[in-house]
Structure 1
Amino acid sequence: MINLSVSNLIFRYPHFVPRSTFQIPFIFLLHTRSLPHHKDKPTNWNASHVLIQSNPLLSLLEACTSMAKMKEIHAQMISTGLISDGFALSRLVAFCAISEWRNLDYCDKILNNAANLNVFSWNMAIRGYVESENPINAVLLYRNMLRKGSAIPDNYTYPLLFKVCAGFSLSWTANEILGHVIQLGFDSDLFVHNAIIHVLVSCGELLAARKLFDESCVRDLVSWNSIINGYVRCGLADEAFDLYYKMGELNVMPDEVTMIGVVSASAQLENLALGRKLHQSIEEMGLNLTVPLANALMDMYIKCKNIEAAKILFENMTKKTVVSWTTMVIGYAKFGLLESAVRLFNEMPEKDVVLWNALIGGFVQAKRSKEALALFHEMQASSVAPDKITVVNCLSACSQLGALDVGIWMHHYVDKHNLTMNVALGTALVDMYAKCGNIKKAIQVFEEMPGRNSLTWTAIICGLALHGQPHAAISYFSEMISIGLVPDEITFIGVLSACCHGGLVDQGRDYFYQMTSKYGISPKLKHYSCLVDLLGRAGFLEEAEELIRSMPFEPDAVVWGALFFGSRIHGNVHMGERAASKLLELDPHDGGIYVLLANMYGDANMWEQARKVRKMMEERGVEKTPGCSSIEMNGLVYDFIIRDKSHPQSEKIYECLTRLTRQIEVIEVDPSLFKEFSSWC
């Protein structure tokens, strides 16, 4: 029945089995009906086997603890003729392939020179490669097995090969091997059948895997787990739960692997109630809380915003893996508990690049970019090689700080180490260059990228808007739409900002209303503030104020600040007073608002009102927040506040500022000296 189901699958999806580039010898097909099956399984590698106990050389091989000793035994086997015995040869191959002292190069030499290899020997060698650092060589060994024709693949061969194809998503190779499986009739074997489902899922052929699963009359828990976890891997959490509930209806008891899948599905849905229920079911069923299952539960609680439950699980784990530590560090970082994240990080016995990335990313997310870059330097000192995720995190930190020199160094690191320029990395570079002041380089990186997504286009649009190039920003937006990419709310912030910089009132209005009418995006506070700013700068103050009244939520300080700024530009004192009043309601201790309001009165020659504002400021004990600036030199970012003398060269810095101020005063008096000032700088 399973055989028929797979045949139907191939008939309906012929691309699954393309014409093979390595054909099964015809002699194999002649013997298909008499192939050894479960009753003729290869002999277990068992030291109690009668041939081992009766043969001194095989007994020595069982006790062998080095390749040097094994080679001596091999020489004796050749001289005594024992090497011609298929079982004895298979023991030798097994030692070279899967023992603690394995040597796959020597194993290859044995296979190439042996004349009587059985399928057990080939399977041991294939398994050895599957478990090695180069698993793909297992497929090459399978090709060699077919060419030599000394043994027929069996139902143990194919699950090993499908495992490799699944791990590397080798869809084409898996399809070729699937054709061999069907030709030889092994698709009726449960282990092979489950391996087929697993490889189809791993190669993204989820519909085909589900069809094969549904048409199977014989399936076990592994079959259920493969398809459930396949849905989870593809982000189809609801479909995974449908199968899980169907398991219950058919009285199929789940195991730890099943629960890992559905717990991960609840994490994708961010459904805490469902996740708690699954945790309770695990306890009620008495399932063993394995490390992978505990890690999945921790991840679920973190994604469902319950850090305390994750912490309890972590602390109760008797054995923790790198995944356990990393999950918890990510959780602390995600919730802004960076001190706890650092403490846990320092307690970890071994730190890999994933863990470093988690901590660095947490600091970047919390806008603590200087510390993020300091962690990056510490990571380098620890001899842990950064990867693309590290670079993306550090580029984001550079964007926040305006640290162009560090960003350029990161770009050189990408080129020097030949890191693949994927979309995420390219987008981070575009964003960094744009925010660090080099829009020309941002455009160059954008144009040279092999692939772009909507985030990439958004980065360049926002960058151009930031650099006062509104028409270029809108041009890029139009091109983005023309190639079929869908803008998001961040894209429209860039577009509206561009309209604001360019005074493009009509276009700004159109884009704002297109958000809802054409793209189904509900404008957020930031979009309203952009449009209020655009209208206010252009003098449409009444329309801007009406827009604020029509907002579906309470305006924030940014919105009222935009209206206040527009009112001050156009000398509308009454509207400016109303906006300032709202700003003071939101934050009565913000000294900057008082100062701006007093300046507005001063601009209008309303000196009495200006004095009242400053007196009110004194009575309420409000002080203006000191201004802060930052500058990058030699890859380091320095922060300065007003009257700051903490820097060791503060005297020279203030002396330089005094000279600059004097030069500016000279320029204001005599513009012809501007050229001289530029050359002095």
Structure 2
Amino acid sequence: MISFTIICSKSQRLLQNPILVPFSFLLHTRSFPPHKQKPINWNTTHTLVQSNPLLSLLENSNSISHLKQIQARMTITGLISDPFASSRLVAFCALSESRNLDYCTKILLSLENPNVFSWNVAIRGYLESESPREALALYKRMFRDGGSWPDNYTYPLLLKVCANLQEKLMGLKLLGHVLKLGFDADVFVHNAVIHMLVSCGELRDACKAFDESRVRDLVSWNSLINGYARAGLAHEALRLFQEMEDDRVKPDEVTMVGLVSSCAQLGDLDKGREFHRTIRVNGLSLTVPLANALMDMYAKCGHLEAAQELFSEMTNKTVVSWTTMIVGYAKFGFLEAAWKLLYEMPENNVVPWNAMISGYVQAKCGKEALAVFHEMQARNIRPDEITMVGCLSACSQLGALDIGIWIHRYIEKHIVSSNVALGTALVDMYSKCGNIKKALQVFQEMPGRNSVTWTAIICGLAVHGHASDAIFYFEKMIDTGLMPDEITFIGVLSACCHGGLIEEGRKYFSQMRSKFNLCPNCKHYSCMVDLLGRAGLLVEAEELIMSMPIKADAVIWGALFFACRIHKNVVMGERAAFKLFELDPHDSGNYILLASMYGEANMWEGAEKARKMMREKGVEKTPGCSSIEVNGIVCEFTVRDNMHPHSRQIYDCSFQLTREIEMVGSVRGVRTFRDYFFVGAEFG
């Protein structure tokens, strides 16, 4: 019995409130796949069918026009007034291959006393159609017109509609009717209630309904296990399965989908393999959804060989099957294998193309990601919001502002439903491509923002040296009730560093733990070391490193080393440099900077020692590489590169700029371009 307090009280309040009793039919809609015809099991042995050839003709009817002829004869002969005969007519309109739901409704509403079966088949027809919401409207007519009351077959259909549409309010109203009419003891209705609550995100109520019920079966367990898995509560799903085993309920293929999906979320390859063995041992059928779930689990856990083996053995591959493998290969950088599958995929779909773009972005291959987008356009594959987010991320990596502007215009023209993720990607792209003014404009025009959006603008302002503005937006973010995360604090601390705001930096660094319960990581410590080091507080910076609860990385020691060089603290600089050599002995930049620090202090013996260390370890200077966007084309240049067709003009321009800088003179304490050029060449 569904007698728990929370749901009952919610439903009864809805029933007792006259304002809420009328159904809310004008809520948002979701698209559903076209109706997949299921053969109707016509009852040809019924006495009425055998005595009336008109009814048997429906079985072979193949068009609405044919049905109308039969209906006309039924009306003339008076057979239409028979509930069984009329319900057969309604069923044909609702469920047959020649279905016509509009005409079905007309017939249903024109009948003098339609029975509950007629209402149910019409509701089922809408449930399986592209307009499932009409099933709820039909239920309202059923109550309003009277004549028939819903039964225990009506509510599983209606609750499934609410589950598919995630209509929680409507689902609770229906639940109130279920309780009032006493159908809560029916196992099918009960399972439909649990499924509805799970689909609407009411897991706590669904669990309470499950725990307090005396009528639960495997379907009940499956609804809850899969509900937890879909909600990302993998540990809860696995715990529930343990209880299911304790109750000696054997799992089926649906159970295993939820369990395997939970292992994929947790990245638990061992547990996933164990469930795979359970499937084999119990002789469970490897259905397409289960095979896809196993492939997804293996792919997310990095065991691509096992995923590929399952994929190769599948006889009925779906779009999900192909996409799962492409996403797996792209995620782990096997982009050639992903491309091969993408070209072999029989059906064009935007999801695997998005996976390719995401894979290239993760691999820091922004140019290739944009090339995938152009290929999509050539193949007439319509991009979606996820495509655009990936392309904007690629532009952010490349600093390709012109391409980013073009994508922004494309979004405004073609992407109707712009969302928070897309707006955030635009803010991030404009910030990283150097147009902070446009980033602020996009941010201000966004109708909705989340913590990631605020973080993007805070980090953008920090990078561009607008320290006060970055802190202002941080405080404003807190005032809106949003919680900052670790990345937000990287932006805030970077702003303090760029602005030389020492006290503010100390305050926000302290607040990470005390106010927001966040543990600083290496990036936060590197910001603080950089802030203190730039201000000349070298001792405090080194003490902070020594007090860290985690091991300092090369970025932290590099920040201290850089500060020591600026403030000419050779002794501490040496300590920092040798820590860097331990962490990364093959980074040529550290040897070059140490030699440069010795040279500035007139310690030529030390400078020669740094050069000798570099030669003995076989470290070669890594050629510098830069890129620039010209007319929407990203061009890359490497030091001493003579392969570019305009290399001569480029070098001439470079030396001309150097001469002009030297004529103007360099700022005290800052090297000229020529100084850096020849220091690099000396160690090249």
User: TM-score scaled to structure 1, two decimals?
Assistant: 0.86
Match of 1:10 in 2: 8
Paired residues in the alignment total 649
Encode CA deviations 1:74-126: one digit per residue, 9 max, x unaligned. Answer: 44444554444433333332222222232223333333444343322222222
2:568 is matched with which residue: 566, 571, 574? 571
Compute the displacement of 1:467 (Å). Answer: 0.5
Encode CA deviations 1:288-310: one digit per residue, 9 max, x unaligned. Answer: 22121222223333344433333
Kindly provide the amino acid, as one letter, of the partner of residue 17 in structure 2: R
Larger displacement relative to structure 2 (435-444 or 552-561): 552-561
Match of 2:671 in 1: none
Compute the displacement of 1:659 (Å). Answer: 6.5
**Equivalents in 2 of 1:52, 1:632: separation in Å?**
77
Cα distance change of structure 1 residues 654 and 75 upon mapping to structure 2, 3 Å threshold: farther
1:447 is matched with which residue: 441, 444, 447? 444
Cα distance change of structure 1 residues 630 and 74 upon mapping to structure 2, 3 Å threshold: farther
Larger displacement relative to structure 2 (612-621 or 256-265): 612-621
The answer to whether residue 426 in structure 2 is matched with residue 429 in structure 1 is yes
Kindly provide the amino acid, as one letter, of the partner of residue 103 in structure 2: Y
The answer to whether residue 17 in structure 2 is matched with residue 19 in structure 1 is yes
1:370 is matched with which residue: 367, 371, 387? 367
Compute the displacement of 1:397 (Å). Answer: 1.6
The answer to whether residue 249 in structure 2 is matched with residue 252 in structure 1 is yes
Kindly provide the amino acid, as one letter, of the partner of residue 461 in structure 1: I
In structure 2, the residue corresponding to 1:514 is in which secondary structure?
helix
Correspondences of 1:547-566 after superposition (within 5 Å): 547-566=544-563
Cα contact 2:229–2:258 (8 A) shared by 1:
yes
Kindly provide the amino acid, as one letter, of the partner of residue 307 in structure 2: A
In structure 2, the residue corresponding to 1:188 is in which secondary structure?
coil
Cα contact 1:20–1:176 (8 A) shared by 2:
no
Match of 2:269 in 1: 272
Cα distance change of structure 1 residues 179 and 348 upon mapping to structure 2, 3 Å threshold: same
Correspondences of 1:472-551 after superposition (within 5 Å): 472-551=469-548
In structure 2, the residue corresponding to 1:186 is in which secondary structure?
coil
Cα contact 1:19–1:176 (8 A) shared by 2:
no
Cα contact 1:421–1:449 (8 A) shared by 2:
no
Gaps of 5+ in 1: 25-42, 670-681
Match of 1:405 in 2: 402
Correspondences of 1:54-203 after superposition (within 5 Å): 54-203=51-200
The answer to whether residue 648 in structure 2 is matched with residue 631 in structure 1 is no
The answer to whether residue 390 in structure 2 is matched with residue 393 in structure 1 is yes
Gaps of 5+ in 2: 23-39, 667-684
**Equivalents in 2 of 1:52, 1:491: separation in Å?**
72
Larger displacement relative to structure 2 (170-179 or 639-648): 639-648
Match of 2:682 in 1: none
Kindly provide the amino acid, as one letter, of the partner of residue 335 in structure 1: F
2:204 is matched with which residue: 179, 191, 207? 207
Match of 2:29 in 1: none
**Equivalents in 1 of 2:291, 2:107: separation in Å?**
44
Kindly provide the amino acid, as one letter, of the partner of residue 19 in structure 1: N
Cα contact 1:17–1:178 (8 A) shared by 2:
no
Cα distance change of structure 1 residues 592 and 208 upon mapping to structure 2, 3 Å threshold: closer
Compute the displacement of 1:608 (Å). Answer: 6.0
Kindly provide the amino acid, as one letter, of the partner of residue 166 in structure 1: A
Cα contact 2:326–2:338 (8 A) shared by 1:
yes
Match of 2:379 in 1: 382
**Equivalents in 2 of 1:115, 1:173: separation in Å?**
29
Cα contact 1:10–1:16 (8 A) shared by 2:
no
Compute the displacement of 1:456 (Å). Answer: 2.2
**Equivalents in 1 of 2:373, 2:340: separation in Å?**
17
Cα contact 1:263–1:278 (8 A) shared by 2:
yes
Cα contact 2:450–2:482 (8 A) shared by 1:
yes
**Equivalents in 2 of 1:23, 1:491: separation in Å?**
46
In structure 2, the residue corresponding to 1:638 is in which secondary structure?
strand
Kindly provide the amino acid, as one letter, of the partner of residue 138 in structure 1: A
**Equivalents in 2 of 1:12, 1:178: separation in Å?**
9
Encode CA deviations 1:196-243: one digit per residue, 9 max, x unaligned. Answer: 121122222222222222222222221222222223333333333333
1:300 is matched with which residue: 294, 297, 300? 297
**Equivalents in 1 of 2:329, 2:495: separation in Å?**
37
Cα distance change of structure 1 residues 150 and 23 upon mapping to structure 2, 3 Å threshold: farther
Kindly provide the amino acid, as one letter, of the partner of residue 220 in structure 1: D
Larger displacement relative to structure 2 (278-287 or 411-420): 411-420
Kindly provide the amino acid, as one letter, of the partner of residue 631 in structure 1: I
Cα distance change of structure 1 residues 58 and 667 upon mapping to structure 2, 3 Å threshold: farther
In structure 2, the residue corresponding to 1:64 is in which secondary structure?
coil
Larger displacement relative to structure 2 (139-148 or 82-91): 82-91
**Equivalents in 2 of 1:609, 1:243: separation in Å?**
66
Cα distance change of structure 1 residues 459 and 22 upon mapping to structure 2, 3 Å threshold: closer
Larger displacement relative to structure 2 (360-369 or 592-601): 592-601
**Equivalents in 2 of 1:353, 1:123: separation in Å?**
37
Correspondences of 1:312-331 after superposition (within 5 Å): 312-331=309-328
**Equivalents in 2 of 1:477, 1:188: separation in Å?**
54
Compute the displacement of 1:631 (Å). Answer: 1.9
Encode CA deviations 1:51-75: one digit per residue, 9 max, x unaligned. Answer: 4444443333212233444444444
Compute the displacement of 1:13 (Å). Answer: 6.3
Cα distance change of structure 1 residues 210 and 556 upon mapping to structure 2, 3 Å threshold: closer
Correspondences of 1:33-48 after superposition (within 5 Å): 45-48=42-45
Cα contact 1:22–1:143 (8 A) shared by 2:
no
Kindly provide the amino acid, as one letter, of the partner of residue 270 in structure 1: G
Cα contact 2:461–2:469 (8 A) shared by 1:
yes
Kindly provide the amino acid, as one letter, of the partner of residue 219 in structure 1: R
**Equivalents in 2 of 1:601, 1:283: separation in Å?**
68
**Equivalents in 2 of 1:458, 1:601: separation in Å?**
40
Cα distance change of structure 1 residues 585 and 185 upon mapping to structure 2, 3 Å threshold: closer
Cα distance change of structure 1 residues 214 and 552 upon mapping to structure 2, 3 Å threshold: closer
Match of 1:33 in 2: none
Cα distance change of structure 1 residues 54 and 441 upon mapping to structure 2, 3 Å threshold: same
Match of 2:352 in 1: 355
Kindly provide the amino acid, as one letter, of the partner of residue 491 in structure 1: T
Kindly provide the amino acid, as one letter, of the partner of residue 89 in structure 2: L
In structure 1, the residue corresponding to 2:17 is in which secondary structure?
coil
Compute the displacement of 1:48 (Å). Answer: 4.3
**Equivalents in 2 of 1:23, 1:537: separation in Å?**
67
In structure 2, the residue corresponding to 1:637 is in which secondary structure?
strand
Cα distance change of structure 1 residues 657 and 113 upon mapping to structure 2, 3 Å threshold: farther
**Equivalents in 2 of 1:90, 1:296: separation in Å?**
41
Compute the displacement of 1:130 (Å). Answer: 1.0
Compute the displacement of 1:653 (Å). Answer: 5.4
What's the C-alpha RMSD, in Å, of the aligned pairs?
A: 3.1
Cα contact 1:505–1:535 (8 A) shared by 2:
yes
**Equivalents in 1 of 2:403, 2:50: separation in Å?**
67
Fraction of identical pairs, as percent: 65
User: TM-score scaled to structure 2, two decimals?
Assistant: 0.86
